[in-house]
Amino acid sequence: MADHQEPGSEADEAQAAAPAPDRDEDDFLPRRDLLDRIDAAVEAGDTDALNALLEPMHAADIADLIERLHGAGRRAFLTLYSDQIDGEILSEIDEAIREDVLEYLPREVLAEAVREMDSDDVVDLIEDLDEPERAEILAALDDSDRAAVQQSLAYPEYSAGRLMQSEVVTAAEHWTVGQTIDFLRAEEWLPEQFYHIILVDPRRHPIGYVTLGRLLASRRDVPLRDITEDSFRTVSAYAEEGDVAYAFNQYHLISAPVVDSDDRLVGVITIDDAMSVLDEEHEEDILRLAGVGEESAITDSVFETMRQRLPWLMVNLLTAIFASLVIAIFDETIQRVVALAVLMPIVASMGGNAGTQTLTVAVRALATKSLTGSNVWRVVRREAIVGVLNGLAFALVMGLVAWIWFDGASLAAVIGIAMVVNLAVAALAGILIPLGLEKAGADPALASGTFVTTVTDVVGFFAFLGLASAVLL
Amino acid sequence: MADHQEPGSEADEAQAAAPAPDRDEDDFLPRRDLLDRIDAAVEAGDTDALNALLEPMHAADIADLIERLHGAGRRAFLTLYSDQIDGEILSEIDEAIREDVLEYLPREVLAEAVREMDSDDVVDLIEDLDEPERAEILAALDDSDRAAVQQSLAYPEYSAGRLMQSEVVTAAEHWTVGQTIDFLRAEEWLPEQFYHIILVDPRRHPIGYVTLGRLLASRRDVPLRDITEDSFRTVSAYAEEGDVAYAFNQYHLISAPVVDSDDRLVGVITIDDAMSVLDEEHEEDILRLAGVGEESAITDSVFETMRQRLPWLMVNLLTAIFASLVIAIFDETIQRVVALAVLMPIVASMGGNAGTQTLTVAVRALATKSLTGSNVWRVVRREAIVGVLNGLAFALVMGLVAWIWFDGASLAAVIGIAMVVNLAVAALAGILIPLGLEKAGADPALASGTFVTTVTDVVGFFAFLGLASAVLL
């Protein structure tokens, strides 16, 4: 693809970016001066120089480069480079900006790119597109590829059926090692990466699989049946992708055959797909816990960023006003003992933090399926005990601080008791709210944080100010 | 391993737990009634029944089962089952409880278990053990395995050298496909799973690799050199495990050869190891953001849980007291206008939430290396603009609420201005604090949350109360 040879030095540089002794982590990223040179080539409108610079780069790194560009910069880049974008780069580009990129692709480049892609990547590409673009891409595919993509799209979103690729290597159940090797040698087309040969019966029901290592190590006359793996398990095309990813992680699967409702083989899911799903689920958890829309990306525009965050801030405003209403009940008490206004945020803040700690551990445990029926009550009990003990510890510390600061033993007692109450409630809210959401079929990470801090603010203010008005007045 | 045949029905049930059409997600977990039957067998002290129930279960599920047991229950289980624990189960058990389990293993069972483990699993098992236990396990290994484990342990913690397994399948660079297949058929020992044949020169420098699929599909007389993969890259044994995991994810690697400082092949890292590292890093991020020790596990005892959480709550107490000192400056103002005490938590809370949103997106982007030198200023600018715009939006809403609630236009203006200031500061703190920590070589997730909310509490209280005392009095 490089049109001339001079920039060989840059090519070497990019190669050197592969991890090697005595290199630091930044070597996993394209080097800064390479990026500068790419910028310069784009600015100069020098297609040849740009192609030569990008030629040695991995598709994933080129995709990242495109993601990091913005506005005019991205447009300029795509105008120069669009005819070099292949299926690999296209499947690496983040969903959020894919439509932008598609607009710049000459139709024949796009058609060529989708023809090289595995069916799962095509599905991933077109499932979010509007009808005209979708139809255009489908039209570019061969009949059999198109049928495979359409079959995949017929399964629900986020199902194994959407995640699988239809390119599968199968063998008849009665074949020997030798027959299988001869078949593979004769086969014109094989997937880029495959890790198992799936044994199927005449009705295409998968009945076992053989690892390629085992196949290679066995004599030609050995029947495939004799060397199948114990770990064989199939995945329903209707299974939820999160559960599939869990199974890959839990059972160290490398690929898994996917079957339809008649138990017939329809595709295969490989570990890189499972890894992406795990990554996305983690992203969702961490963003949802923080009250950020789960599709947030660092590449979002100002407008998109606001759209992701405003709703949660609005919810937070409502709950903050709700907590303020509790304070307002006790406004006369505060007017008489202004120390209460000084100290009350401490009680609320400690509750909020303790609740968030419990919540995060609970959400993570639910996500990894390590908090289940069999240990849930033990965990709830542990959290409650920890809440009370932490409450007692901080009651002591904060009681002393309040006593010294405001010279009042009753005030010290009030803040101490409020601290124990709020930290115990925080612990319970932190575990019971995500469990409740999970039970109700919702994502335990979603809005949990807001619920928990609402509880700890309200309880914190109420316990502290309520006790104070009873004791101090 | 099953000593009698009657419990075949339970075995079938556990098999049925494999994902299949029309099954829901809970089928990925051992079924509740199976767990009850296991409990009953443990209680009855019935070793045969227990073995029969566990026989069809995957090692990973048995490990989870042991993790979920506690105290006397776990002791009873291990007493009955300890002689059935093999290398697979042992490598699946969580670090936190591994030492407990080791205590129960008869020495010869332990020796047998470690002999079946790959070298990376042995390293993982013994790296946290004390000297006597470590020596005992090393003594159980064959000389060559022991040497491999010791070589691995010589690399720094969290390095690729610790993560790799020394079991590698290599071929001489001049071999043909046929020679390689003959070699594999003749070889007595091969790793359980391997995905590439690594070509080495006579000095054991890796010079390329061939996928097993490619090997199988090629004629016997094809030289290996002609079918090596372009994606070939080596990893230094000294590389940080997080960077290795990043490379696997970014470049869709399935295995990567590890080289020492002389570029000689010392082992191979496979994708399941990379997946575990990614998972651990996710866990660290999410727990650190919440101010929970990153080794927290749902299986921890009350004491361990407190040890993980108290320090962060203590830090939070100090910062909360610091924020209270700001309030104390304005105690006279509050006494005169008690509405300030009612409204001030709203300003602080909105700042805290907005800051956490920005922070979480930034920490996640840093973890996935998508926030780098080339786009950092654009992102900072975006966050600042979003902060100001969100501030203006909520200034309007909250100004109106305050106006209606307390019937004061000046109070409405004060809370509006404070809101804009605090949300702008929140946005900047949310992005600059993690960037600063990263720059300083610290984990951007660590303590960021506390820093950010301290900033937003202090600025929120100061802006609101300071403005109020200037304007309202």
Q: Give the chain A residue nearest B331 (alpha carbons).
A: A338
d(CA B280, CA A328): 45
The upper half-sphere exposure of residue A386, i.e. CA atoms within 13 Å in the direction of its Cβ, equals 29
Handedness of CA A232, A235, A241, A243 (dihedral sign): negative
Handedness of CA B447, B448, B449, B453 (dihedral sign): positive
Secondary structure (3-state) at B201: coil
d(CA B93, CA B66): 8
Residues in chain A: 473
Secondary structure string (H, E, C) spanning A350-374: HHHHHHHHHHHHHHHHHHCCCCCCC
Question: Largest alpha-carbon pair distance within chain A?
Answer: 94
Q: Which CATH class is domain B170-289?
A: alpha beta
Q: Give the lowest-confidence range in B32-41, B151-160, B388-397.
A: B32-41
Nearest CB neighbour to A345, from listed B289, B324, B371: B324
Chain-chain contact of B238 with A70 (C-beta, under 8 angstroms):
no
Chain-chain contact of A275 with B278 (C-beta, under 8 angstroms):
yes
Which pLDDT belongs to residue A223? Answer: 97
Which pLDDT belongs to residue B30? Answer: 58
What is the nearest CA distance from B283 to chain A, expressed in angstroms? 7
Tell me if B100 sits within 8 A of B74, measured CB to CB: yes
Q: Within an 8 Å CB–CB cutoff, is residue A369 touching chain B?
A: yes
Which pLDDT belongs to residue A94? Answer: 85
* B235 or B1, which is more confident: B235
Q: Which of A323-332, B54-63, B302-311 has the highest mean pLDDT?
A: A323-332
Chain-chain contact of B313 with A394 (C-beta, under 8 angstroms):
yes
- State the Cα torsion A127-A133-A137-A140 to the nearest 10°: 160
Q: What is the pLDDT of residues B293-303, one digit of tens each?
A: 777 777 788 88
Which pLDDT belongs to residue A31? Answer: 67
d(CA A335, CA B341): 9
* B224 or B33, which is more confident: B224
Chain-chain contact of A28 with B68 (C-beta, under 8 angstroms):
no
Domain ranges, ordered by start, for chain B: 8-158, 170-289, 302-471
Tell me which CATH code domain B8-158 carries. Answer: 1.25.60.10
Nearest Cα neighbor of B338 from A340, A464, A318, A460 is: A340
Chain-chain contact of B19 with A185 (C-beta, under 8 angstroms):
no
Environment class of B5 (CB within 10 Å of its CB; exposed 0-12, middle 13-18, buried 19+): exposed
Nearest Cα neighbor of A254 from A201, A212, A199 is: A212
**Band of pLDDT at residue B442, cut at 50, 70 and 90:** confident
ipTM above 0.85, yes or no: no
What is the nearest CA distance from A402 to chain B, expressed in angstroms? 10
Q: Angle CA(A244)–CA(A249)–CA(A250) in degrees, nearest 5?
A: 95
Chain-chain contact of A234 with B290 (C-beta, under 8 angstroms):
no
**Band of pLDDT at residue B29, cut at 50, 70 and 90:** low
Chain A hits for B304, CB-CB cut-off 8 Å, are none
Tell me if B350 sits within 8 A of B424, measured CB to CB: no
Which pLDDT belongs to residue B385? Answer: 95
Chain A hits for B310, CB-CB cut-off 8 Å, are 390, 393
Residues in chain B: 473
B259: which DSSP letter?
A: E
Residue A26 is encoded by which pair of tokens? 């930044």
Tell me if B260 sits within 8 A of B266, measured CB to CB: yes
Which pLDDT belongs to residue B12? Answer: 37
Angle between helices A71-81 and A95-104 (to 10 degrees): 50
- CB pairs < 8 Å spanning A and B: 395
Secondary structure (3-state) at B330: coil
Secondary structure (3-state) at A161: helix
Which pLDDT belongs to residue A30? Answer: 58
Residue B340 has pLDDT above 90, yes or no: yes
Q: For the residues B82-96, what does the mean pLDDT come to?
A: 88
Q: What is the pLDDT of residues B118-170, one digit of tens each?
A: 888 999 888 888 888 889 889 989 998 999 999 999 999 999 999 999 989 99
Nearest CB neighbour to B321, from listed A314, A346, A361: A346
What is the nearest CA distance from B107 to chain A, expressed in angstroms? 27
Which pLDDT belongs to residue A15? Answer: 37
Which pLDDT belongs to residue B467? Answer: 96
Q: Which residues contact B93 (CB under 8 A, 6 or more apart)?
A: B63, B66, B67, B101
Residue B323 has pLDDT above 90, yes or no: yes
Chain B hits for A242, CB-CB cut-off 8 Å, are 25
Window 107-166 of A: residues touching B by CB (8 A cutoff) are none
d(CA B253, CA B430): 34
d(CA B149, CA B121): 9
Residue A3 is encoded by which pair of tokens? 């049109």
Tell me if B425 sits within 8 A of B456, measured CB to CB: yes
Token pair 């390590």 is at which residue? A370
The CB density around residue A128, as the number of other CB atoms within 10 Å, is 13
Chain B hits for A383, CB-CB cut-off 8 Å, are 305
Chain A hits for B207, CB-CB cut-off 8 Å, are none
Nearest CB neighbour to B353, from listed A58, A313, A363: A313
Structurally, at CATH architecture level, domain A8-163 sits in Alpha Horseshoe (1.25)
Handedness of CA A124, A127, A130, A135 (dihedral sign): positive
Backbone angles phi, psi at A391, to 5 degrees: -60, -45
One digit per residue, the tens of pLDDT, for chain A of length 473 reads 333 433 333 333 333 334 433 334 444 555 678 888 888 999 999 999 999 999 989 999 999 888 888 778 888 999 899 888 999 999 899 887 888 888 888 888 888 999 988 888 999 888 888 888 888 889 989 998 999 999 999 999 999 999 999 989 999 999 999 999 999 999 988 888 899 999 999 999 999 999 999 999 999 999 999 999 988 889 999 999 999 999 998 888 999 999 999 999 999 999 988 998 988 888 888 888 888 877 777 778 888 889 889 999 999 999 999 999 999 999 999 999 999 999 999 999 999 999 999 999 999 888 888 888 778 888 999 999 999 999 999 999 999 999 999 998 999 999 999 999 999 999 999 999 999 999 998 888 887 888 899 999 999 999 999 999 999 88
Strand ranges in A174-254 using DSSP code E only, listed in sequence order: 196-200, 206-211, 235-236
Q: Within an 8 Å CB–CB cutoff, is residue A471 touching chain B?
A: no
What is the nearest CA distance from A240 to chain B, expressed in angstroms? 7
A30: which DSSP letter?
A: P
Q: Within an 8 Å CB–CB cutoff, is residue A183 touching chain B?
A: no
Token pair 């505060």 is at which residue? A334
d(CA A190, CA B391): 56
Yes or no: domain A302-471 corresponds to CATH 1.10.357.20: yes
Tell me if B302 sits within 8 A of B71, measured CB to CB: no
Residue A342 is encoded by which pair of tokens? 């000084």
Q: Is A130 left (phi over 0), alpha (psi -120 to 50) or beta?
A: beta
d(CA B137, CA B146): 9
Tell me if A220 sits within 8 A of A256, measured CB to CB: no
The CB density around residue B204, as the number of other CB atoms within 10 Å, is 15
d(CA B111, CA B245): 31
Tell me if A271 sits within 8 A of A259, measured CB to CB: no
* Percent of chain B predicted with pLDDT > 90: 57
Q: Which residues contact A342 (CB under 8 A, 6 or more apart)?
A: B324, B327, B328, B331
Q: For the residues B355-364, what does the mean pLDDT come to?
A: 92
Residue A374 is encoded by which pair of tokens? 């069999």
Environment class of B429 (CB within 10 Å of its CB; exposed 0-12, middle 13-18, buried 19+): buried
Which pLDDT belongs to residue A436? Answer: 92
Q: For the residues B245-258, what does the mean pLDDT come to?
A: 92
Q: For the residues B88-115, what does the mean pLDDT come to?
A: 87
DSSP H helices in B32-142: 32-44, 47-54, 59-68, 71-81, 87-92, 95-104, 107-116, 119-126, 131-140
Token pair 């445990």 is at which residue? A365
Which pLDDT belongs to residue B8? Answer: 36
Q: Within an 8 Å CB–CB cutoff, is residue B410 touching chain A?
A: no
Q: Within an 8 Å CB–CB cutoff, is residue A306 touching chain B?
A: yes
Distance of CA B152 to the CA centre of its chain: 22
* A470 or B28, which is more confident: A470
Residue B350 has pLDDT above 80, yes or no: yes
- State the Cα torsion A235-A236-A241-A244 to the nearest 10°: -20
d(CA A106, CA A294): 32
Nearest Cα neighbor of A269 from A227, A224, A231, A234 is: A234
Chain-chain contact of B212 with A217 (C-beta, under 8 angstroms):
no
Tell me if A152 sits within 8 A of A267, measured CB to CB: yes
Chain-chain contact of B320 with A32 (C-beta, under 8 angstroms):
no
Q: Are strands B196-200 and A235-236 parallel, antiparallel or unpaired?
A: unpaired
**Band of pLDDT at residue B73, cut at 50, 70 and 90:** confident
Token pair 């894919």 is at which residue? A98
What is the nearest CA distance from B331 to chain A, expressed in angstroms? 6
Q: Within an 8 Å CB–CB cutoff, is residue A71 touching chain B?
A: no
The upper half-sphere exposure of residue B452, i.e. CA atoms within 13 Å in the direction of its Cβ, equals 37
Q: For the residues B250-274, what does the mean pLDDT come to?
A: 93
Window 441-470 of A: residues touching B by CB (8 A cutoff) are 453, 457, 461
d(CA B388, CA B393): 9
Which pLDDT belongs to residue B162? Answer: 94
Residue B124 is encoded by which pair of tokens? 């993982």
